[in-house]
Chain A
């Protein structure tokens, strides 16, 4: 059928059509605000972050210790058995060097997001965070990193209580 049809519908416009007001359009900025209940598992996670610690949970059935914590084991579909304090260092599972912001504007300093497997948790159990105090070209998968915390007075119980993870020898 694509062979038979000559003209497909759809008119493409250009940026200038909008800036020069050649087309009519309406604008709207939604006011969409939420306050999500942290709940039991993440509530505890955040409270621990405020104290400068990372906490995970363990399922005795499949014997995984996971982070971020959850009240149920999604594999066994049963409640988790115990809270386990984890280390605040780990290993880089994967990373990227990001040069642009979400609106595609170039950043002055590149950001280095990474998935960091936290020591004390089962293999492969990582969290998303940023790397810092490191030359982007030096970052390697498998690199050992440690959390750099905000001072206690500045910690509020958020993932950003950890500023970033930096390499350790």
Chain B
């Protein structure tokens, strides 16, 4: 039985399409100040280690690790960068506390997507240079291929995917943090510009700027510092084959394995019953369905039917992405998973305002690193 660790503070800035008034440092500072205030800690004195999440080409700076300590209060302290999903960074912080060497650790992730002028070219730069890049296709073709295969094998439809978009953007209207809340209809999605068949423009979550900081603490400190610590029940993460030629185009195996690890740690056997809600990566509309199935919330092919029935609405039996997900809040690049986790924390604390779910005790957050990766991580929390 691993040590008990809780989230005792969260802070955030954004999320908006543009944030021209602040540099990334000032953005991170804002989220950090709020998180430390929420946790009741002084980073210079109390926080023993810091984990940030960043990729050089997302920031436009090599060795971005250099530029993080000052705005997090981490100067001359243990700091390291995880080049991965925000949830990987969160898990790295959790692992450090589990070792017993540290009691309080902070994690940060952010997106300044608005500062990237050539996002698709940079995404293409992540593809295998010998086998895939020379095809010179916009990398979204990978999502198109996967969506097509997924729909074909599971019987899910473009309409069901469009319902996910409508649901999430509608949820976002009730979330003051969200950048892209809207009332749209299924037809709007089906008729939107085709990007890479069958993936249309509205099937894709638009990018946003945002910064999130969380503070984790081991049980004794957590109980001292927080009135409502949110406990980590399980974590899991997994990479599948990076190669396009070798991957499974229907099933998100990385998600299935990550979830399996997290469920095992949390002692969960029937997720649909034992979890109250979930925040699941919806970078693309079909991903929410594919991930729901991989996370064993339902059987393959059933996710689309559940969305149709309204089961995953805020008022439904098992709300999925009550925050609005990336489709409604905006995609925060590698910080997206941490945005999913943020919502789980707020819901479990009863701080979700207008879109608060009633009587929730346990929630799951799942993040995916996006194209062209098969990398994901899951975290289960309870109050």
Interface size on B, residues (CB 8 A): 33
Known contacts A26-B134, A39-B22, A74-B69; is-contact A33 B117 (Cβ 8 Å)? yes
Contact with B along A9-44 (1 / 0, CB 8 A): 000000000000000001010111111111111110
Contacts of A40 in B (CB 8 A): 21-23, 26
Chain A's nearest CB lies how many Å from the CB of B169?
A: 26
Known contacts A26-B134, A70-B25, A74-B69; is-contact A37 B115 (Cβ 8 Å)? yes
Contacts of A26 in B (CB 8 A): 129-130, 133-134
Contacts of B117 in A (CB 8 A): 33-35
Contacts of A143 in B (CB 8 A): none
A116-149: which have CB < 8 Å to B?
none
Asked whether any CB of chain B lies closer than 8 Å to the CB of A76, the reply is yes
B130–A72 touching, CB < 8 Å: no
Binds A, one of B70-78, B193-201, B328-336: B70-78
Asked whether any CB of chain B lies closer than 8 Å to the CB of A71, the reply is yes
A75 to B69, CA, bound (A): 10
A32–B122 touching, CB < 8 Å: yes
B130–A39 touching, CB < 8 Å: no
Chain A's nearest CB lies how many Å from the CB of B75?
A: 5
Asked whether any CB of chain A lies closer than 8 Å to the CB of B167, the reply is no
A127 to B118, CA, bound (A): 31
B115–A32 touching, CB < 8 Å: no
Closest B residue, CB atoms, query A30: B125
B70–A32 touching, CB < 8 Å: no
A38–B23 touching, CB < 8 Å: yes
Chain A's nearest CB lies how many Å from the CB of B143?
A: 21
Contacts of B96 in A (CB 8 A): none
A34–B60 touching, CB < 8 Å: yes
Give which listed residue, A33, A37, A42, A71, contacts B112 with CB less than 8 A.
A37
Dominant SS at the A interface?
A: loop
B94-122: which have CB < 8 Å to A?
112, 114-118, 121-122
Asked whether any CB of chain B lies closer than 8 Å to the CB of A77, the reply is yes
Contacts of B43 in A (CB 8 A): 77
A27-74: which have CB < 8 Å to B?
28, 30-43, 70-72, 74
B118–A72 touching, CB < 8 Å: no
Chain A's nearest CB lies how many Å from the CB of B46?
A: 11
Asked whether any CB of chain A lies closer than 8 Å to the CB of B24, the reply is yes
Contacts of B71 in A (CB 8 A): 72, 74
A77–B130 touching, CB < 8 Å: no
Closest A residue, CB atoms, query B124: A30
Give which listed residue, B29, B60, B133, contacts A32 with CB less than 8 A.
B60
Contact with A along B42-73 (1 / 0, CB 8 A): 11100000000000010010000000011101
Chain B's nearest CB lies how many Å from the CB of A117?
A: 19
A32 to B121, CA, bound (A): 7
A77 to B116, CA, bound (A): 29
Contacts of B60 in A (CB 8 A): 32, 34, 36
B116–A37 touching, CB < 8 Å: no
Contacts of B115 in A (CB 8 A): 34-37
Contacts of A72 in B (CB 8 A): 26, 29, 70-71
A155 to B316, CA, bound (A): 60
Chain A's nearest CB lies how many Å from the CB of B59?
A: 8
B26–A71 touching, CB < 8 Å: yes
A34–B23 touching, CB < 8 Å: no
Closest A residue, CB atoms, query B116: A34
A107 to B75, CA, bound (A): 37
Asked whether any CB of chain A lies closer than 8 Å to the CB of B19, the reply is yes
Closest A residue, CB atoms, query B127: A28
Known contacts A28-B133, A32-B57; is-contact A74 B75 (Cβ 8 Å)? yes
Asked whether any CB of chain A lies closer than 8 Å to the CB of B2, the reply is no
Contacts of A77 in B (CB 8 A): 42-44, 73
Contacts of A75 in B (CB 8 A): 44, 75
B29–A37 touching, CB < 8 Å: no
A43 to B42, CA, bound (A): 28
Chain B's nearest CB lies how many Å from the CB of A136?
A: 29
Closest A residue, CB atoms, query B131: A26
Closest B residue, CB atoms, query A34: B60
Closest B residue, CB atoms, query A24: B130
A103 to B359, CA, bound (A): 62
Chain B's nearest CB lies how many Å from the CB of A123?
A: 18
A and B contact pairs by CB, cutoff 8 A, 9 listed = A32-B57, A32-B118, A36-B60, A36-B112, A40-B23, A40-B26, A43-B23, A75-B75, A76-B44
The 9 closest A-B pairs by CB, nearest first: A39-B23, A34-B60, A74-B70, A77-B73, A33-B117, A31-B121, A30-B125, A39-B26, A39-B22
Please name 14 further chain A to chain B contacts, defined as beta carbons within 8 Å, in addition to the given A36-B60, A42-B23, A71-B26, sorted by A numbering.
Answer: A26-B133, A26-B134, A28-B125, A30-B57, A30-B121, A34-B116, A35-B117, A37-B23, A39-B21, A39-B24, A41-B23, A41-B25, A74-B73, A77-B43
Measuring CB to CB, which residues of chain B are less than 8 angstroms from any residue of chain A?
A: 19-27, 29, 42-44, 57, 60, 69-71, 73, 75, 112, 114-118, 121-122, 125, 129-130, 133-134
Measuring CB to CB, which residues of chain A are less than 8 angstroms from any residue of chain B?
A: 26, 28, 30-43, 70-72, 74-77
